[in-house]
Chain A
Amino acid sequence: MFAAAAAALLITMLLALLRAFMGPTLYDRILAVNTFGTKTVLMIAVLGFLMGRPEFLDIALVYALINFIGTIAVLKFFRYGDLGRAGEGK
């Protein structure tokens, strides 16, 4: 049961990677990497159940936050060319 779920997640991660390699624009790649990260969170949780080690959920929890911060950081970097500047709201 968990193996089937893990297989579905792996196939989806493969499709997201294909989009990240093919993607015509930069934003397609960022979207694909964000999707890949969310699927990685689910994959770590499923693997924890599959191997009988639910401690993996802590890693999944941390990865969910890192994925979000990474996406926002990459978007800000490609928009302003710099991570240190404030946005347009100043």
Chain B
Amino acid sequence: MIGPVLDAISWLLLIGGSFFVLTGGIGLLRLPDVYSRMHAAGMTDTLGAGLFIAGMAVQAGFTLVTVKLLLILLFILFTSPTATYALANAVWSGGVQPKRRDGTACETIDRSDGPSKS
């Protein structure tokens, strides 16, 4: 009796995850510079992966499979912000300026404290 309800919940979660993953992929392709692309990629990592894993966990029930799925989610939630931070740090100290709408550089940002100086 509870089966179709769980199936429907799992469907909804998986379709929501597919939506966010696809949106992030399109954003990764179409956004103008690397900083905004990082934003699109981060959205797929948190919401997309979270909804996908929640949908699969609903499908699996209270088993070892769910524990493994939650471990995967835990690893993604730890490693994704760390990797994004390291990448943003590398981009910034590599001298890439954020792109602005009018094409000017960000002269208001003080770059003298960047890690590339050390």
Residues of A within 8 A of B (CB): 1-2, 4-5, 8-9, 11-16, 18-19, 25, 27-28, 30-32, 34-35, 38-39, 41-42, 45-46, 49, 54, 57-58, 60-61, 64-65, 67-68, 71-72, 75, 78-79, 88
Q: Do B41 and A34 touch across chains, with their CB atoms under 8 A apart? A: yes
In the complex, chain B residues whose CB is within 8 Å of the CB of A27: 34, 87, 90-91, 94, 96
Which residues does B use to contact A, with CB under 8 Å? 7, 10-11, 14-15, 17-19, 21-22, 24-26, 28-29, 34, 37-38, 41, 44-45, 48-49, 52-53, 55-56, 59-60, 65, 68-69, 71-72, 75-76, 79-80, 82-83, 86-87, 90-91, 93-94, 96, 115, 118
Measured between beta carbons, the chain A residues less than 8 angstroms from B80 are: 38
